[in-house]
Every structure is written in C-alpha cells, then in structure tokens.
Amino acid sequence: MVDFLDVLKVYIESYGASPKLAQLLTGLAGFLIITAVSCLIGYLSGRVILNWIKKFISRSKTELDDLLVKRKVLDKIFLLIPAFVFFTLSKHLLISHPALETFLTHGSAVFLIITVMAALDASLDVLLDLYRKFGLSFPFPVKSFVQVVKVVIYVIGGVLVIATVIGKTPVFILSGMGALTAVLMLVFKDPILGLVAGIQLTKNEMIKLGDWIEMPKYGADGTVIDLALTTVKVQNFDNTVTTVPTYALISDSFKNWRYMSASGGRRIKRSFYIDMSSVTFCTEEMLMRFSKIQYISEHIASKQNEIKKYNEENKVDLESLANGRRMTNLGVLRAYMEAYLRNHPMISNDLTLMVRQLEPTPEGVPIQVYCFCMDKAWVNYEGIQSDIYDHFIAVVQAFDLRLFQRPSGADLFGKYAE
C-alpha cells in the first residue's frame, strides 16, 4: 500500500501537479482506502458474524449470553474490530504522510479507548444483573461498589484520552493533576461520601435491599428498592418513591424494621382507659359471675383460696372493706386479658406478654397490653390487633367497669334531654 501511494504520487505529478497537491491527493486516497477497508470489515463482523452469534445465542438456554446481548456488550466489542483495523492501517500505511497519520491514529485510539470503557461498563451491568437474578443482592448491596468501579474506569479512560490527544504519557497527565485535587474533591464530594457510607452500611449490616426503614426527615417510610453510590431509593407504602442521600443514613438517624421481621413476633403495645369510679372490690355475687368465664375460673378459685388463707392467718376483720386482701374487678379484668392473650393462637407465649396498669391520668386508669403478634405482615398484624382490642373494649362491661372517653355532643344532649 505504501508503494501504491508512492506510485500514485509519481503518477499524479506526471500530469503536471505540484508535489504538495500530489501529497494531498495521495493522502486523501489513502484515507479513503483505509476507511473503505475498515467499513467493510466492520460490516462483515458487525452485520454478518455478530448477527449469526446473536441467532445462536437466542437458541441457547443459558442466561449469561442473553444478558450480553441485552446490555449490548457484544456490539461494543465488535466495534473494536474496525477501529483496530483503522488504527493499524493508518499507522503503517500513511508513513509518508506524518501529519495525517498522527491525526488518524490519535482519533482511532481515542475511539478504541471510549469503546473499551463502554464495553467494560456494559460488562459490569451484566455482572450486576446476574448478581440480582440469583438473589445475592439482598444480603449485599453491590450496586454502589459497581458504580465506584465505573467511576474509576472512566477516570482512567479520561486520562488516557487526554494523553492520546496531546501526545503525552498518562504519567505526565497524572503529575499535573495535583493542583486539581481540591476541585476534584469538590466535584466528587457526593460519590466519595456515598462510597464511605456504603462501606459502613455494608460492613455493619445497617441496611439491605428489602428492608423496611423509616426516615421522617426525608419523608421515607417503606421498603428499600435500590442502593446506589450516592442515593438510596425507598418505595413508600403509598407507592411513592423517596430518594435519600446514602451518606444521610450515616449522618442522620433512621429506623430499620428488619430485626422485627427476623424476630419471633411484632410488638403490640396499646392502652385504653378505665373510669376510676367504676373500680371496686368484688362481691361474692360478682365472683360467682366471674367464675363462669372459662379463661379465669381456675384463677379466681386459686386466688380466693390464697386470699382466704392469708386473711385467716392474719386474723383480718372483714367487716371493713379496708382490711385484709380482696379481689377487685379491675384485677380480675387484667387476669382475664392476660389469659385471653395466652390462649390466642396468633400471640407468642415465648416473648414478653403482660397486661399492666400505668400511672393514672385525668382520663382514668390506663390498662396497657404488651405482647407480640406472630404474624408480622402489616395488614394481618393490624387485623389481629384490632380484633383483640375490639374484644377487650366489648368485654369491659362484663366486669362492671366503664371505659373513659371525653364527652361528645351526643352525651351532653342525652344528659340534658333527661
């Protein structure tokens, strides 16, 4: 080809063309020939061979090759073939045209570098797809680390491109970047903070994909659907998506419900108020009536024997209600509520279970239920909790007690109507 260009130059000069014009025309001819050969090879490799490979892949049962096609990794790799041919031909066939040879080789080298970066980027996406497909992304959020690798690839590629364009070595470019460190730190502030936060979050297992988190400051209350280098996406329960900066999960506080989901139950902690004026000592008639309640019949009999024995041993004068020990209707209600919970099929007996009386308030005596529901799914949990409290609210009257609630207009109207 070099000899051909030299012969072509002599041939053009023989027709009276100046040496400069002959040099220009032969350079243009060489460029057209190189371009034509590269395009032909690119067509054969990209259209013929690549299409044949894609047809073969479509018939295979493996998933990796399908992902390679989906992410266009093969397309980017096959782009390297004509680019490499163009680079090689320019370097070896345009020796007599140094300026054109330098321009074309530098241009094709830049294209090669960019194509390699794009191929590596797509390959990392394939690895990430495989990671997610096999369910491994749930224990380890690797997307942020993949993005870090991509940033490194593009930084290296950018340095190589600049070095190629100006004709210097990459070491020369790196040596001059010291003064730009502060600027780069400012530009890449969020990725750097996100990388550090991602390492801490992963190492300490603070958050994973699929976790239910609450972060009121950012309006996040839902499931983590994406962990990236700079952001965390949370799908709220109203199906909106909130984006939270990754480093905010380290600098600010948030609530993670994962350990509740991994535990034996989801906590129920709720109170209602008893009118203090309805609390009284149990009479014999009341105890006989309460004894017919199956959950506490044995408890009442055992308690009566215990109290009777205590009063006899201490020679208590039972003429006064203030003397000795006696059962109250509120105490019997608490015993019933605890027995009801222990016999409930969806309440765990292995975790803390109690019915306790809190400090009295102007609204009455708070009776709090503290237990754990074995069904942790939100909808089921709320239904079970509501059913339990429906029952307790309705059964309070059976113990000659009254619930307290602030008077409404209907209460006042009924009172004055009488």
Tens of pLDDT, residue by residue over 169-186, are: 777 666 666 656 666 666
Which residue's structure tokens are 């074995």? Answer: 374
Q: How much is the mean pLDDT over the chain?
A: 83
The confidence score (pLDDT) of residue 106 equals 87
For residues 7 and 41, what is the distance between their CA atoms, to the nearest angstrom? 26
Quick one: tokens of 57? 């892949």
Looking at the predicted structure, is the pLDDT value of residue 241 above 80? yes
What average pLDDT does the segment 48-77 reach? 79
Cα torsion at 302, 274, 344, 331 (round to 10°)?
-10
- What would the two tokens of residue 403 be? 């619930």
Q: Specify the length of the chain in residues.
A: 418
Return d(Cα 47, Cα 44) in angstroms, integer: 6
C-alpha distances in angstroms, 96 versus 2, 103, 125?
Answer: 8, 13, 44
CA 162 to each of CA 150, 168, 175, 192: distance values in angstroms, whole numbers, following the listed order: 18, 8, 13, 24
All CATH 3.30.70.100 domain ranges of the chain, comma separated, are 266-417
Report the distance separating Cα 8 and Cα 167, nearest Å.
31
- Could you tell me which residues come within 8 angstroms of residue 300 by beta carbon, excluding any fewer than 6 positions away? 287, 290, 291, 327, 332
Better-scored residue on pLDDT, 331 or 103: 331
CATH of region 266-417: 3.30.70.100
Q: b/e for 344-380, b at 16 or more Cβ within 10 A?
A: bebbbeebebebeeeeeeeebbbbebbbbbbebeeee
> What's the Cα-to-Cα distance from 17 to each of 4, 21, 187, rounded to whole Å?
18, 6, 55
What pLDDT does residue 364 have?
92
Q: What angle do CA 134, 140, 143 make, to 5 degrees?
A: 85
Whether the predicted pLDDT of 334 surpasses 90: yes
Question: Residue 179: its pLDDT value, please?
Answer: 56
Mean pLDDT of all residues in 136-141: 51
Q: What is the mean pLDDT of residues 267-278?
A: 93
The DSSP symbol for 216 reads: G
Mean pLDDT over 325-346 rounds to 95
> For the segment 229-239, what is each residue's pLDDT rounded down to a tens digit?
778 899 998 88
Q: Is the pLDDT of residue 207 over 60?
A: yes
Distance CA 333, CA 132 (A): 53
From first CA to last CA, the distance across the chain in angstroms is: 117
Nearest CA to 253 out of 203, 205, 214 is that of: 214
Question: 205-262 has which CATH code?
Answer: 2.30.30.60
In the prediction, which pLDDT does 17 show? 67
Q: How many Cβ atoms from other residues are within 10 Å of residue 61's Cβ? A: 6
Lowest mean pLDDT among 13-27, 145-159, 249-263: 13-27
CB 373 within 8 Å of CB 353: no
For the cut 50, the answer to whether the pLDDT of residue 416 exceeds it is: no
| Residues 6 or more apart whose Cβ sits within 8 Å of residue 306 | none
If you average pLDDT over residues 276-303, what whole number do you get?
A: 93
**pLDDT of 15:** 66
Backbone angles phi, psi at 57, to 5 degrees: -65, -40
- Whether the model clears a pTM of 0.75, i.e. scores above it, the answer is no
Question: What's the mean pLDDT in 99-116?
Answer: 87
Percent of the chain at pLDDT above 70?
A: 84
User: What pLDDT sits at residue 343?
Assistant: 95
Residue 259 confidence (pLDDT): 78
CA atoms of 70 and 62, how far apart (whole Å): 13
pLDDT attached to residue 417: 47
Share of residues in the chain with pLDDT > 90 (%) = 31
Sign, CA torsion 400/404/410/415: positive
Is the model's pLDDT at 136 over the cut of 60?
A: no
On the question of pLDDT at 252 being above 90, the answer is no
Longest CA span, the chain: 142
Once rounded to an integer, what is the mean pLDDT over residues 87-108? 81
Domain with CATH 2.30.30.60 in the chain: 205-262
- Residue 329: pLDDT over 70: yes
Q: Which residue has the higher pLDDT, 11 or 52?
A: 52
